[in-house]
A and B are shown apart, each in its own frame.
Chain A
Amino acid sequence: MAVAETTSGSATRGGADGWRQVWEGISIIFRSGVAVVGLVIILFWIFVAIFAPLIAPHDPLAQDSSAINQGPSGLYPLGTDNLGRDMLSRLIYGSRTILILAPVSVLASVAVGTFLGLFGGYFGGLVDEIVMRVLDAIMAFPTILLYLIIISAIGPSALNVVLAITFVGSPGVARLVRSLTLDIRTRDYIRAAETRGESPLHIMFFEILPNARGPIIIDSMLRVGYAIFSIGTLGFLGLGLPPPTPDWGGMISEARKFIWTNPLGVLWPALAISSLVVALNLFADGLREESTRYN
């Protein structure tokens, strides 16, 4: 098929073009109502996490034995948990945990997964087979089971939570990157790089990866949502951060036992987790739809 020979609108210099791309990216976000809603919620929680010491009315670790499992009151706006700690403050400080751990885990799994996917996709053959079979094996396990195995093996701690999530999340990223690599690898500019004698590492990281970033970035955003959910799950199972660190999942787990007397104890952290996850999904979805709309 012949290619249209038309003038393009812009002839800007590369530097300015970089900013223009950022601006274009931002304006795509604003075009999608859905993405904006998501973004607002995310920013809200980030704000909360940053200014936690200024916003939280009480110390999240302070116990008040006179106010156990109370509902909302003037002193404790969202009520207290079974050790008399202020729910609101724990919620606020809990956001810090999640908002640090989740992105870190995702970053780690994207790094590992990208590496594996690039290798497998570019080299193909035996290397690809080995990598994919191993990853398939990991993905065959139910996630919860994997978490259980990993955390029980290495013990609960913030670092181990990150490790667990990385381990469980990399195969998915690897798959995505591998299929992107397989597609990009057929392009002529990769051929051209090969005919220049470029090393495979150069080709993978400088020719292929820059062109795969779009889907990887959007996928990462969704993964942050999953990661948040996973951290919550781990916390719920008691496999997350050791107490007394405020951890939304852990809060649900503790409050569960008292659900009949103080159902709100479960509700607030559950809502918090859901809101973040939903917000991230909305954001990613909105972005994706907007950037593919006029295809």
Chain B
Amino acid sequence: MQQPRDIPVLSVENLAISYETRRGDVRAVRDVSFEIQRGEAHSIVGESGCGKSTVAFGIVNFLGRNGKIVGGRILFQGRDLVGHSQEELRKLRGDRIAMVYQDPMQALNPSMRIGDQMAEVLIVHRGMSKEDARDRCIHMLEQVHMPDPANVMRRYPHQLSGGQQQRVVIAMALLNDPALLIMDEPTTALDVTVEATVLDLVAELQTKFDTAIMYISHNLGVVARVSDNVGVMYAGELVERATVANVYLRPGHPYTLGLMHCVPRLGMDKADSFLYPIRGRVPSPSNLPPGCVFEPRCDFGRPICRQKCPELREVEPAHWARCHFAEQVLAGELELSPDLVPDLEGLARRGDGAETVLSVEHARTYYEAPSKQLIGGEKQYVKAVDDVSVAARKGQTLGIVGESGCGKSTLVKTVIGLETPTGGDLEFMGMDISMPVSKRDLDLIKDMQMVFQNPDSTLNPSFSVGSQIGRPLRRFKTVPRNQVRAEVIRLLSMMRLGENYYDRLPRQLSGGEKQRVGIARAIAGRPELVLCDEPVSALDVSVQAAVLNLLLEVQKEMGTTMAFIAHDLSVVRFFCDTIAVMYLGQIVEFGPAEAIYAPPYHPYTEALLSAVPIPDPRMEQKHIRLSGAVPSALNPPSGCRFHTRCPRRHLLPDGGKICELEVPPWRHATDEHRIFCHIPLEDLRKMDKVVTIEEETHAG
């Protein structure tokens, strides 16, 4: 099976890569060393800008015009890649190293059929005949569990869903039986349930084809699921490297420790689960600290850390860390300072009698879709939101969770008036809000504001921070004109931003800072309700924690009610009081946060919980996967919309025939917790918890 002294498929030694820019050389990667054996899955995890993708590009020599390897070696099966000619590298890349990117359309030609593109790989590299190539492609598509491969071969990329495109790309990468497969965030753009199936596929391929996999990601949950070994990168350096269990449970570097503490975990209870953000920010490559690169942000820093840069050393067998005090970190002597966490006692929890601020009953928002016929023809509607009822109580947070296409964004846009509802009753503070924002009273507008998802587009690039926060103050006349500047500075300090931010332009700010300015702008007018549309999904993990804590503080201080949209169930649990789970325009489960994460579950909630990657190797998770894709909202399935994919249909007589025919009833597990399903409550209650910790199962 394996040769006794196996050559690692990939061996990276002290790699350093720099880019030439207008302002001189930028050292994007400064010292990275790791090894991957045949059949091993090795992840490189780190936040954006740490250089992990650059390492991958360096390996496949994809650095672009101005990138160059300035130090170290890359050995592929024992041979130094750096010395090869372009021609040799081209063959190697095609034959034995394959790469899969985050965006499948980077690898797919939109104007060629899938079958032609895949076969091309074989015909060019192996000189196969067209028929043989085609057969092999179909075989490979079956290996990646693509339904109806022959049909897929005839289609164009845009006719496939994101998950299917990614499967095709993986299949293409495997056609030449590569020894090394590099995957750069391949599932980041996919929905959680689809991501879970792709990750299963990767694990299966690893054993079947004995391929070495280098997996790059910023998502700690995904990394915990796929890897055998993990390397943690920070600011261009590899700071820790060990087995997945060690990295997650016994880290040897303060940065890794910090990362583990700022990631929300699904299994944790809410009240005593604080997120500890890592203070400070990543240094820019042109402005590195002397000595240890993490020292400015490290709670454990000592004078030696400022003077001398630590080496990556083996602190215990198969566990490397780049820290002068790695042994102490390993032994658990590093304590996180409590002042990183806001004091959250007294936060109004689900107080009885708290008034309802927002009430949505049977809301519907349909978009007209262009009819298929040129003239006349029946009108078709995209039923983005179809009979949704939710409520939010004063001072509490309502979470809305669902995958792409479920209608959560449309729901929020309808509430705030960027979309007009087609039907239903929407009330905010007792007043009707079923009209677009242009027709609303200024007072009403002032009391409902929104925080947006993308920090890069949430601020107007042409105006300073101060003027943008000041605008709502002036418009809503929250304070007299001569006090606007003072108020802006007060808001900035609430966001932990100094007065010097007043005159800065958005392009001088980091992503987290921009998002904080966006929050300040939203709360400037002291609104009653703040809608947050995935406010942290585009941020790095360590920054997410800071922003989430900030939102909690704001809520505490100002008593604001919040609605929080997310696709990540773990974030929502930490943050929300009540949660609504949406699927294809409808709410399938609604109730207090704790109730959602424990049985009884709606089958879709159960599948979502089983799919979320958990950043803790000890957690056992059920393995429920949904087949097929989300149906189109133009023509949703009859009866229960989830019936086409429901893994629990067999619990009902006749294989769940009723699910196709009738709209489900609401099952009320408690006064506050309801589930939209035909399956009777007793059966739903009998389901096991989706997530358990290993110790729990042993203790029983």
Chain B residue with minimal CB distance to A294?
Answer: B22
Out of A3, A198, A294, which one reaches B511, CB within 8 Å?
Answer: A3
Q: Does A126 contact B (CB under 8 A)?
A: no
Q: With A5-B49, A187-B457, A189-B457 as given contacts, are A11 and B508 in contact (CB-CB < 8 Å)?
A: yes
Query: Binding site of A, secondary structure by majority: helix, strand, loop or mixed?
Result: loop
Taken residue by residue from 7 to 37, chain A's Cβ proximity to chain B (1 for < 8 Å, 0 otherwise) reads as: 1111111110100000000000000000000
Taken residue by residue from 174 to 199, chain A's Cβ proximity to chain B (1 for < 8 Å, 0 otherwise) reads as: 00000000000001110110111110
Q: Does A207 contact B (CB under 8 A)?
A: yes
| Chain A residues positioned under 8 Å from B286 (CB to CB) | 9
Contact B450 A1 (CB under 8 A): no
Out of A6, A13, A192, which one reaches B521, CB within 8 Å?
Answer: A192
Q: With A187-B457, A192-B521 as given contacts, are A11 and B500 in contact (CB-CB < 8 Å)?
A: yes
A294 to B543, CA, bound (A): 28
| Chain B residues positioned under 8 Å from A189 (CB to CB) | 457-460
Q: Does A210 contact B (CB under 8 A)?
A: yes
A187 to B458, CA, bound (A): 7
Nearest-neighbour CB distance to chain B for A85, whole angstroms, equals 50
Out of A1, A12, A198, which one reaches B475, CB within 8 Å?
Answer: A198
| Chain B residues positioned under 8 Å from A261 (CB to CB) | none
Q: Does A145 contact B (CB under 8 A)?
A: no
Q: Does B3 contact A (CB under 8 A)?
A: no
Contact A8 B188 (CB under 8 A): no
Nearest-neighbour CB distance to chain A for B404, whole angstroms, equals 15
Out of B48, B283, B509, which one reaches A2, CB within 8 Å?
Answer: B48
A188 to B284, CA, bound (A): 27
Contact A197 B437 (CB under 8 A): yes
| Chain A residues positioned under 8 Å from B472 (CB to CB) | 196
Contact B510 A7 (CB under 8 A): yes
Q: Does A4 contact B (CB under 8 A)?
A: yes
Contact B508 A5 (CB under 8 A): no
Contact B284 A3 (CB under 8 A): no
A210 to B463, CA, bound (A): 9
| Chain B residues positioned under 8 Å from A15 (CB to CB) | 503
Chain A residue with minimal CB distance to B456?
Answer: A3
Nearest-neighbour CB distance to chain B for A216, whole angstroms, equals 13
| Chain B residues positioned under 8 Å from A17 (CB to CB) | 503, 505
| Chain B residues positioned under 8 Å from A194 (CB to CB) | 418, 437
Contact A195 B440 (CB under 8 A): no
| Chain A residues positioned under 8 Å from B47 (CB to CB) | 2, 4-5
Q: Does B417 contact A (CB under 8 A)?
A: yes
Nearest-neighbour CB distance to chain A for B129, whole angstroms, equals 41
Out of B49, B457, B475, B503, which one reaches A4, CB within 8 Å?
Answer: B49
Contact B49 A191 (CB under 8 A): no
A286 to B507, CA, bound (A): 24
Number of interface residues of B (CB under 8 A): 64
Contact A207 B437 (CB under 8 A): no
| Chain A residues positioned under 8 Å from B340 (CB to CB) | none
Q: Does B635 contact A (CB under 8 A)?
A: no
| Chain A residues positioned under 8 Å from B511 (CB to CB) | 2-5
Out of B445, B457, B502, B512, which one reaches A197, CB within 8 Å?
Answer: B445
A:190-247 near B, CB below 8 Å: 191-192, 194-198, 207, 210-211
| Chain B residues positioned under 8 Å from A192 (CB to CB) | 450, 452, 458, 518, 521-522
Nearest-neighbour CB distance to chain A for B332, whole angstroms, equals 28
A189 to B506, CA, bound (A): 12
Q: Does B538 contact A (CB under 8 A)?
A: yes
Contact A6 B463 (CB under 8 A): no
Nearest-neighbour CB distance to chain A for B88, whole angstroms, equals 30
Q: Does B290 contact A (CB under 8 A)?
A: no
Nearest-neighbour CB distance to chain A for B106, whole angstroms, equals 13
Contact A6 B456 (CB under 8 A): no
Chain A residue with minimal CB distance to B515?
Answer: A3
Q: Does B110 contact A (CB under 8 A)?
A: no
Contact B281 A5 (CB under 8 A): yes
Nearest-neighbour CB distance to chain A for B440, whole angstroms, equals 7
| Chain A residues positioned under 8 Å from B514 (CB to CB) | 3
The contact size tier of chain A is 20 to 34
Q: With A4-B282, A4-B510, A6-B283 as given contacts, are A191 and B438 in contact (CB-CB < 8 Å)?
A: no
Q: Does B113 contact A (CB under 8 A)?
A: no
| Chain A residues positioned under 8 Å from B512 (CB to CB) | 3, 5
| Chain A residues positioned under 8 Å from B500 (CB to CB) | 11
Nearest-neighbour CB distance to chain B for A2, whole angstroms, equals 4
| Chain B residues positioned under 8 Å from A13 (CB to CB) | 503
Nearest-neighbour CB distance to chain A for B60, whole angstroms, equals 20
A15 to B502, CA, bound (A): 12
Chain A residue with minimal CB distance to B464?
Answer: A14
Contact A3 B540 (CB under 8 A): yes
Taken residue by residue from 489 to 518, chain B's Cβ proximity to chain A (1 for < 8 Å, 0 otherwise) reads as: 000000000001011110111111010001
A14 to B508, CA, bound (A): 11
Contact B460 A211 (CB under 8 A): yes
Chain A residue with minimal CB distance to B468?
Answer: A189
| Chain B residues positioned under 8 Å from A211 (CB to CB) | 460-462
Q: With A11-B508, A211-B460 as given contacts, are A1 and B538 in contact (CB-CB < 8 Å)?
A: yes
Nearest-neighbour CB distance to chain B for A266, whole angstroms, equals 46
A192 to B454, CA, bound (A): 12
A8 to B283, CA, bound (A): 9
Contact B510 A3 (CB under 8 A): yes
Q: With A192-B452, A196-B475, A210-B463 as given contacts, are A5 and B48 in contact (CB-CB < 8 Å)?
A: yes
Out of B48, B285, B418, B521, which one reaches A191, CB within 8 Å?
Answer: B418
Contact B21 A294 (CB under 8 A): yes
Q: Does B108 contact A (CB under 8 A)?
A: no
Contact A7 B458 (CB under 8 A): no
Taken residue by residue from 450 to 489, chain B's Cβ proximity to chain A (1 for < 8 Å, 0 otherwise) reads as: 1011111111111110100001100110000000000000
| Chain A residues positioned under 8 Å from B539 (CB to CB) | 2-3, 5
A8 to B501, CA, bound (A): 12
Q: With A3-B48, A8-B509, A10-B508 as given contacts, are A196 and B445 in contact (CB-CB < 8 Å)?
A: yes
Tell which of A9, A13, A187, A192 has the most Cβ of chain B within 10 Å. Answer: A192
Contact A4 B48 (CB under 8 A): yes
| Chain A residues positioned under 8 Å from B462 (CB to CB) | 210-211
Chain A residue with minimal CB distance to B537?
Answer: A2
A207 to B284, CA, bound (A): 30
| Chain B residues positioned under 8 Å from A4 (CB to CB) | 47-49, 282, 510-511, 540
Tell which of B460, B462, B542 has the most Cβ of chain A within 10 Å. Answer: B460
Nearest-neighbour CB distance to chain A for B216, whole angstroms, equals 13
Chain B residue with minimal CB distance to A186?
Answer: B457
Q: Does B373 contact A (CB under 8 A)?
A: no
A294 to B509, CA, bound (A): 20
Nearest-neighbour CB distance to chain A for B476, whole angstroms, equals 8
| Chain B residues positioned under 8 Å from A14 (CB to CB) | 464, 466, 502-505
| Chain A residues positioned under 8 Å from B285 (CB to CB) | 6
Out of B282, B416, B456, B458, which one reaches A5, CB within 8 Å?
Answer: B282
Chain A residue with minimal CB distance to B448?
Answer: A195
Chain B residue with minimal CB distance to A13?
Answer: B503
| Chain A residues positioned under 8 Å from B466 (CB to CB) | 14
Tell which of A9, A11, A188, A191 has the most Cβ of chain B within 10 Å. Answer: A188
| Chain A residues positioned under 8 Å from B476 (CB to CB) | 196
A255 to B576, CA, bound (A): 83
Q: Does B449 contact A (CB under 8 A)?
A: yes
**5 more CB-based (< 8 A) A-B contacts, given A8-B284, A191-B452, A192-B458:** A188-B457, A192-B518, A192-B521, A195-B445, A197-B475
Residues in A lying within 8 Å of B, measured CB to CB = 1-15, 17, 187-189, 191-192, 194-198, 207, 210-211, 294
Selected A-B contacts with CB under 8 Å, 28 pairs: A1-B188, A1-B538, A2-B48, A2-B218, A3-B48, A3-B540, A4-B540, A5-B48, A5-B543, A6-B281, A6-B283, A7-B283, A8-B507, A8-B508, A8-B509, A14-B502, A192-B450, A192-B452, A192-B518, A195-B437, A195-B445, A196-B445, A196-B449, A196-B471, A196-B476, A197-B438, A294-B21, A294-B22
Question: Would you list the 9 A-B pairs with minimal beta carbon distance, nearest first?
Answer: A3-B511, A14-B503, A4-B49, A210-B462, A188-B452, A6-B284, A197-B445, A187-B457, A2-B48
